[in-house]
C-alpha cells in the first residue's frame, strides 16, 4: 500500500526505531566516515560495497531528505544540493558537453537565464530560447544537437504555464533530457515526472524549506541520472553539497508542506481577484484567474494555482515602486515560498540579469511586480495591498 502525500512528506525514508526512537532524523555533523579496514575504503570508492565515504558525496541526514523527495516527486532517486543553482549546474555539468544545445523556455529565473545566456556559451554549449507555451515551437526548434530542454512552470517572473505532457511527448522522440524546474509548485501541486518529464529540479530554498532560513536544491529522476549527477556534477565539478543541518531543516519544512501550500494557494487566489478588481492595476498574472491565457491548462496540470502572483500597475514602473514602498505587512525582499509575504521588482532585482532589450524580447516589462503570498491573515494582506494601491493613486495625483 502506498501512503498518501502528506504521510510520505512526514515519514518516508526514516524510522525512529532505527535511531534510539528519536522522532526526528539525527543531524550527522561529519565531513568523513571511518573505514573498518583499508580494503573497505577501496570497495566503497569502486562501488563494490555501499556505504558513506565523504561528506561531499553523501550523508545519512541528507539521504533521508533525498529518499523523501524522490517519493514525493514520484522519482526513482533524488540528490540534494547546496542551492537551486547548485542543482541546475550539477545537472548540466553531468549531462552536457561542448557542441551540445539546450532549448530553454522564454522566461526563467534570472540566474538560470544568466547561466544559459551568458556563461554556458563560453564552454561551447549553445542555448536557444523558445516560447514553450506553444509546443509546436519546441518541435520546430529541435536539432540533432539538442540534448536538454529546460522549462519552469509557472515561469518566474510572469507566470506563463507550459503543457508538460505535450513537451515531454516531443522530447521523448529525441535524444533530449526534458527538465522541469518545479520550484513554484512543489510536488504537492504538480508532478512533472508523472506527466513525462525526465528530471525535476528545485530550489528547495523556497516552498520545500518554507521558512526562509536555508538554501538548498534538489535533482530528481532515474537512478542512473541521479547517480551520474552525484558522482560527476556534485563530486567532481561544482561541489555544491548541502549541509546536514540544512537537509534537516528542509525535512522539517516538508512535514507542513501540504498545509502551507493549501494556505498559500487559498490566500493567493483571493488576493489575485482583489488585485484584478483594483482600478490602479492594469493586469494580474495568476493561473487561477479566468483572464490567464493558460488557465484551463493550469487547472488540469496543477492541483491548485500556487502562491505566486505577478502584477502590472497602470502607472508602470514609477507606480510599482510607490506601491512597494507603501507596503507595511508585506516585506520587500527577493526569494519566495516563505511564511512572510514578499514583494520584489524583477527588472531591478531577480531578473536584472536580463538587459532591457532582453526583457522586452523575452516578454516581461520593467513595471512588473512579483508577490510571494505568505501565510499571514488574508484580511491583513488585502488591506495592506489595497492601502499600497491607494497610496499610488495619491502619489499620481501629486498629493
- Judged by beta carbon, residue 25 or residue 84, the one nearer ligand PLP is 84
One symbol per residue from 255 to 294: x for binding ligand PLP (CB under 6 A), - otherwise; what is it? ----------------------------------------
- 294 within 8 A of 131, measured Cβ to Cβ: no
Bridge partners, 284 (sequence order): 311
Q: Which of 169, 159, 193 is nearest to 179 (CA)?
A: 193
Cβ(340)–Cβ(397) below 8 Å: no
Whether the CB-CB separation of 353 and 111 falls below 8 Å is answered with yes
Using the rule CB under 6 A, is 203 a contact of ligand PLP?
A: yes
Nearest residue to ligand PLP on Cβ basis: 84
Binding residues among 112-141 for ligand PLP as defined by CB under 6 A: 112
Per-residue DSSP letters for 140-155? HH--TTEEEEEEESSP
Considering only 82-90, 161-169, 230-238, 315-323, which stretch makes contact with ligand PLP by CB under 6 A?
82-90
Task: Work out whether 183 is an interface residue with ligand PLP (CB under 6 A).
Answer: yes
Which residues from 216-235 bind ligand PLP, rule CB under 6 A? 217
Cell numbers for 100, please give them: 551540445
User: Is 100 a residue that touches ligand PLP (CB under 6 A)?
Assistant: no
Write the CB contacts of 250 (distance below 8 Å, at least 6 apart in sequence).
65, 80, 204, 208, 209, 214, 216
Q: Does residue 181 have an active-site annotation? A: yes
Catalytic residue among 100, 105, 163, 181: 181
Is residue 156 a contact point for ligand PLP (CB under 6 A)? yes
CA atoms within 13 A on the CB side of 273: 9
| List 116, 197, 215, 257, residue binding ligand PLP (CB under 6 A) | 215
Shortest distance (Å) from residue 91 CB to ligand PLP: 12
> CA neighbours within 13 Å on the CB side: how many for 248?
13
Name the residues annotated as catalytic: 56, 109, 181, 206
Q: Which residues contact ligand PLP (rule: CB under 6 A)?
A: 83-85, 109, 112, 152, 156, 181, 183, 203, 205, 215, 217
Amino acid at each position: 500500500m502506498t501512503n498518501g502525500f502528506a504521510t510520505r512528506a512526514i515519514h518516508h525514508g526514516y524510522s525512529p526505531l532505527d535511531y534510539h526512537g528519536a522522532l526526528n532524523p539525527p543531524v550527522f555533523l561529519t565531513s568523513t566516515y571511518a573505514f573498518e579496514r583499508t580494503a573497505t575504503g577501496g570497495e566503497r570508492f569502486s562501488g563494490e560495497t555501499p556505504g558513506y565515504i565523504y561528506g561531499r558525496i553523501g550523508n545519512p541526514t541528507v539521504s533521508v531528505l533525498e529518499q523523501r523527495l524522490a517519493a514525493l516527486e514520484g522519482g526513482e532517486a533524488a540528490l540534494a544540493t547546496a542551492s537551486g543553482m547548485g542543482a541546475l549546474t550539477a545537472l548540466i555539468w553531468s549531462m552536457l558537453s561542448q557542441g551540445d544545445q539546450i532549448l530553454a523556455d522564454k522566461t526563467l529565473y534570472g540566474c538560470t537565464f544568466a547561466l544559459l545566456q551568458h556563461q554556458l556559451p563560453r564552454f561551447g554549449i549553445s542555448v536557444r530560447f523558445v516560447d514553450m507555451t506553444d509546443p509546436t515551437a519546441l518541435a520546430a526548434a529541435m536539432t540533432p544537437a539538442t540534448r536538454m530542454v529546460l522549462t519552469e512552470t509557472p515561469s518566474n517572473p510572469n507566470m506563463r504555464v507550459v503543457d508538460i505532457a505535450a513537451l515531454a511527448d516531443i522530447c521523448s522522440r529525441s535524444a533530449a533530457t526534458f527538465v522541469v524546474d518545479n520550484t513554484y509548485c512543489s510536488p504537492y501541486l504538480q508532478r512533472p515526472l508523472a506527466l513525462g518529464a525526465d528530471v525535476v529540479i528545485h530550489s528547495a530554498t523556497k516552498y520545500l524549506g518554507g521558512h526562509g532560513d536555508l538554501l538548498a536544491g534538489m535533482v530528481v529522476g532515474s537512478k542512473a541520472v541521479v547517480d551520474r549527477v552525484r558522482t560527476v556534477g556534485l563530486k567532481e565539478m561544482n561541489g555544491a553539497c548541502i549541509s546536514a543541518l540544512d537537509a534537516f531543516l528542509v525535512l522539517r519544512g516538508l512535514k507542513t508542506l501540504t498545509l502551507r501550500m493549501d494556505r498559500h494557494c487559498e490566500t493567493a487566489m483571493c488576493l489575485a481577484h482583489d488585485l484584478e478588481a483594483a482600478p490602479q492595476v492594469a493586469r494580474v498574472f495568476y493561473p487561477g484567474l479566468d483572464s490567464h491565457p493558460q488557465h484551463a491548462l493550469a487547472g488540469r496540470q496543477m492541483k491548485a494555482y500556487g502562491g505566486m502572483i505577478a502584477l502590472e500597475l497602470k502607472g508602470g514602473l514609477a507606480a510599482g515602486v510607490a506601491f512597494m514602498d507603501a507596503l507595511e505587512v508585506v516585506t520587500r525582499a527577493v526569494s519566495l515560498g516563505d511564511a512572510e509575504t514578499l514583494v520584489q521588482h524583477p527588472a531591478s532585482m531577480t531578473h536584472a540579469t536580463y538587459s532591457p532589450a532582453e526583457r522586452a524580447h523575452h516578454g516581461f516589462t520593467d513595471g512588473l511586480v512579483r508577490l510571494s503570498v505568505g501565510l499571514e491573515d488574508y484580511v491583513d494582506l488585502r488591506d495592506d495591498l489595497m492601502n499600497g494601491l491607494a497610496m499610488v493613486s495619491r502619489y499620481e495625483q501629486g498629493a
